[in-house]
Amino acid sequence: MYNDNTIYVIGDAKAPQNNPITKKYSQFFLALVIDATTDEIIDSECSSTIQLTNAFVRSLFIGRMVGDKGIEEAIRKRYQGSSQKALVVAYHDARYKYSQAKAALTTEA
């Protein structure tokens, strides 16, 4: 399904205590599949309790470059769920983990 140039990372963050995601998963997770040759996000999923939430979050990420500053802006403007801050933090965490994984690949080559 994914080619050999992809890297899978998961960013995590704490969601608000009154959030159904926290009750179900205890954390908020954002999974990204990124093409390491282009830095393009080719797939995404998050720990949501509603399928529509996951589909909407995917639309914020898929097709964009992992370092695109517009992603965070889009989250703040368009995602008005109670996990907005957790989504931003999880995105930053996933981006950091991706940079670490990509750096490890380039030092191995």
Is 80 exceeded by the pLDDT of residue 95? yes
pLDDT digits (tens, 9 = 90+) for 5-62: 999 999 999 876 665 555 555 788 999 999 999 999 999 999 887 899 999 999 999 9
Task: List, in order of start, the domains of the chain with CATH numbers.
Answer: 6-108 (3.30.390)
Residue 15 contacts residue 88 (beta carbons within 8 Å):
no
Tell me the C-alpha to C-alpha distance, in Å, between residue 59 and each of 9, 15, 18, 31, 64.
Answer: 18, 21, 25, 13, 10
* Residue 50 exposure: Cα atoms within 13 Å on the Cβ side: 9
pTM for the full predicted model: 0.88
pLDDT at 27: 84
Name residue, tokens 């050999």. Answer: 4
Average pLDDT over residues 85-109: 91
pLDDT at 16: 64
> What pLDDT band is residue 82 in, cutting at 50, 70 and 90?
confident
pLDDT at 41: 99
Residue 5 contacts residue 33 (beta carbons within 8 Å):
no
